[in-house]
Amino acid sequence: MDNVTRRGFVKTAALATAAAQSVGAFELDELTIAQLRAGQQTGKYSAQTLVEKYLARIRDVDRAGPTLRAVIETNPQALEIAQALDQERKARGPRGPLHGIPILIKDNIDTADRMMTTAGSLALEGSIAKRDSFVAQRLRAAGAVILGKTNLSEWANFRSTHSSSGWSGRGGLTRNPYALDRNCSGSSSGSGAGVAANLCAAAVGSETDGSIVSPAAMNALVGIKPTVGLIGRSGIIPISINQDTAGPMARTVADAAALLTALAGVDPNDSYTQASAGKAAKDYTAFVDPKGLRGMRLGVARKFFGYNRDVDGLMEIAIGEMKKLGAVIVDPADLPTHGKFDDSEFDAMLYEFKDGLNRYLAGTAASVQVRSLDALIAFNEKNRAREMPYFGQEILVKAQQKGPLTEKAYLDAVTKNRQLSRGQGIDAVLAKDKLHAIIAPAGGPAWLTDLLLGDHDIGGSSTPAAVAGYPNITVPAGFVRGLPVGISFFGAAWSEGTLIKIASGFEAGVKARKKPGFLNSAAV
C-alpha cells in the first residue's frame, strides 16, 4: 500500500540491514489457484509437476534452508494421487477449480491414508485414522491433492497457559518466514507459515478462538473462520463443539473463497451443519469483487485498539482507504458486552474439550495406547523431557477435573456465551447501526518467540465471532517494521458472502501482501 509505505509503516530500507536466509527462486512463487489451474489447462503444468515442485520447495525451505518446520509430514501418496488426477483430466476433464491443486492441512484433521493425525503430540504418534474427516473427503472430491500435514501449537494450543505458539512435541517450533525469530501465532501456525512461504497453493487450518485469523494476520494471508456449521467437523480433533471449525488460509481472497467452496457442506456426522442447508453459497468466488467496499457500512470496534501505536496508525490509514473506496464508516461501533464473556468461554471449553477428546480418542485405532484425557495427562508426565521441556499441561489437568456436559455450571456458561456474544453483542451492534460488518485489528505484529516465558499478548479481535460461532475474515493490511499486520471483518451468521465481498474490495484497493524475506530478525 503506497500510503503505508510513504508514512513509514513498511520500512523497506531498514530491512536491507537485517541478514536473511538464502532462499532460491521458486517458479510457483505467489501463483494463485486460478493461475495454477490455467497452467494445467494449457499444459504448462500437470498435477504431478505441481506436486513435485511444491515437495522440492518443502525440502529446500522447510526442512533445509531457513528450516521453518511448517510441515510436520508430507503425503507419501501425493505423487500417485496427482498422476491419477492427471489421467482423469485427460479422460473426463477436471472435477472443478481445485483439480490437481496441492493443499496442506493441519495435523488435527483425520486422513485415512498413510499419514498420521496427532495434534502434534507424541502421545498419538503412529495414529492412522480409520476414515477420512469430512474436510479430507471434500478436498478429495474436489480433486485437490492433500500434499501433507502442517505443524501446529500442540493440541491446538489447549494445553498450557504458558505455551509457545507453533511448538509441538512431534513437530518442534514453526518459525515465521518474515522474521525467523518471530512467532507465527497459533494454533494453525504451520498452515500460516506454509502458505506464506509458498510451500503449497493454500492450506486448511482450524479455529476455536483466533487459530485461523491470528496466524493468517502474522503471515500476510487471508484467513476465513466461517460460521460454525458451514464446514463439517467430523474427524477433527476437538476442543469446543460450539466454537470449533475448519477454514481456508490463502494468499488471496479469491483463493480462500475457492477453498471455502470446496469445504462447505452438510456433514452427516456433525449435526451443527444441518443449519447450513440452504444458507451456504454454491460458489463463494462469485462474491469476490474489486469494488466490493462501495456502499458497505462498516463499524469500527475501537475497544480492540490500543495495544500497539503503529498497528493503530496502520488501521487509521486502512479506514481512510476504505472511505475512499466507497465504504461508510461508523465509528465507534463497540460491542456493549466487550470482555464480559472471556471467563465463561474458557470454562465452557474445559468441559467440551474433556468430553470431545474422550470421544475422539475412544474411536481411534486399537494401536493407539492413549485413549482418554486422563491417559494423555499420564503420558505427558511419563515423557516430561520430550513433551514438556518448555511448558506444562495445566489446561489439560483443569479439563480433566470437569464433569459431564449436563452440569448446570456448563449449561449456564454456554447460555451466557450465546447471549452476550450474539443477541447482546454482534447482532445488537449490526442492527443498531445497520452495519454489514464490524472491523478491528487482527492483532500483531508478531512477537519474539520466547520458549522460556511463552506467548506475548499482542491484542486481537477474534473472540466475539469465535464465541458467537459467526464468520470472521482477516486480510493483510500492511507492515509494521517489516512484520505483517492484518485487519479483520466479522459479521452475522452465514454472512461469508458479504464478508468476502468486503474483504476482496479492501484487498484490491490496498494490495498489502508482500512475500516473506526469510530474515533472521526483524528490523527494529
Active site residues: 106, 187, 211
Is residue 452 within 8 A of residue 440, CB to CB? The reply is: no
Under DSSP, the state recorded for 425 is I
**CB within 8 A of 138, min separation 6: which ones?**
231, 232, 262, 263, 264, 265
Is residue 444 within 8 A of residue 218, CB to CB? The reply is: yes
Dihedral Cα 261, 267, 271, 277, nearest 10 deg: 50
The C-alpha angle 442, 444, 448, rounded to 5 degrees, equals: 150
The dihedral built from the CA positions of residue 179, 30, 282 and 270, taken in this order, carries a sign that is: negative
The dihedral built from the CA positions of residue 203, 209, 215 and 221, taken in this order, carries a sign that is: positive
Q: Give CA–CA dist 280/228, Å, rounded.
A: 12
Cα of first residue to Cα of last residue in the chain, in angstroms, is 20
Q: Output the CA–CA distances (angstroms, integers) from residue 164 to 20, 28, 174, 356, 381, in the order listed.
A: 23, 31, 10, 24, 19
User: Taking the CA of residue 181 as centre, how many other CA atoms within 13 Å lie in the half-sphere pointing to its CB?
Assistant: 11
* DSSP per-residue string spanning 213-227: HHHHHHTT-EEEEPP
Is residue 99 within 8 A of residue 143, CB to CB? The reply is: yes
Quickly count: other Cβ atoms within 10 Å of residue 423's Cβ: 13
